Amino acid sequence: MDARYLVRDRGARDERRAPTTAPVRRPLTRAADSEARPLRFSAAATSAAGPRPDNQDSGLASPRLLAVADGVGGNVGGATASAMAVRSMLEDLPSDRWETPETLAEVVRSANRRVGSLAIEVPVLDGMATTVTAVSLSDEGRLTVAHIGDTRAYLARGGQLTALTRDHSVVQAMVDAGSLTAEQATTHPWRSMLLAALHGREQDAAHLEVSALRALPGDRLLLCSDGLWSVRSWQEIQRTLDDEPTPFEAAGRLLDLALMAPTRDNVTVVVADVTAGAAPARPTVVGAAAAPDISRRIAS
């Protein structure tokens, strides 16, 4: 495991940005149609800076790929790294190669290489990094989860909430070793120290964890940054996913819960339902990846 710890900037100003929210609406379908049609995500994404001056998170919701990235680094490095990772994955979206877990792993490795190229090109960005949690859905209904860092993916199915990722963090390693309880980890001073993220280095790929499972119609997925999961309990998250009728409403409610906690961090939430016969939907990009001026800010 890489011993290079990353500590996020904890500087905070009393400035709250309006969240950007865009829905991908779930269509009405006939049962006969859904038999013949491949499974797709009906998904929504939302993100807010919270009390921080900048939003260094990025998120993506689309019919076949979901992603959340939480940037690390001073200046505009954190925002740039997460934006670069999500935009890179978005560019790979038109590809039809969603059939194997290796496809998603390569999409994330490609994003990592682009983060590395930009860090070399723009020296002020040296040292930037980003977590990535991404979930893809194949025509055959295979969910693939690719993960590095402490952004998370959860599956709500049949009234049960399951974690699909395990944080690459110092406190998670301490919990695994039995030296800390999960409860203690939520307030531990080292809770922001990561053991792995994408820096654009070849060796980062070794920490990428990829897993696969069978999707079922009615599954609901949540991807989020620590701005949500560090301030709301497992039960609160589960109840919200169970109660809210649509991904759009669930994502919005979870964002509100994080901001009201109040979180001290950026918050990004992606919620997706697995449905048959979902209408084609444009990808929704939120957070730093949606900021039109990111290139100009890098240059200045």
Q: How far is the CB of 49 from Ca ion (least distance, A)?
A: 11
Given the complex with Ca ion, which of 8 and 40 has the nearer CB atom?
A: 8
Given the complex with Ca ion, which of 54 and 265 has the nearer CB atom?
A: 265
Q: How far is the CB of 256 from Ca ion (least distance, A)?
A: 17
Residues 6+ apart with CB under 8 A from 280: 63
Per CB under 5 A, residues contacting Ca ion are 70, 225-226, 265
Q: How far is the CB of 70 from Ca ion (least distance, A)?
A: 4
Which residues are registered as beta bridge partners of 124?
Answer: none
Given the complex with Ca ion, which of 197 and 278 has the nearer CB atom?
A: 197
In the block, tokens 């589960």 appear at: 238
Q: How far is the CB of 8 from Ca ion (least distance, A)?
A: 6
86 closest CA partner among 296, 287, 292, 267: 287
Given the complex with Ca ion, which of 132 and 274 has the nearer CB atom?
A: 132
Residue 133: alpha-carbon gap to chain centroid: 5
Given the complex with Ca ion, which of 92 and 226 has the nearer CB atom?
A: 226
Type and span of the H or E element at 161? strand 160-163
In a 13 Å sphere around the CA of 166, the CA atoms on its Cβ side amount to 12
Residues 6+ apart with CB under 8 A from 41: 24, 61, 62, 63, 64, 65, 66, 137, 221, 272, 273, 274, 275, 278
Q: How far is the CB of 80 from Ca ion (least distance, A)?
A: 15
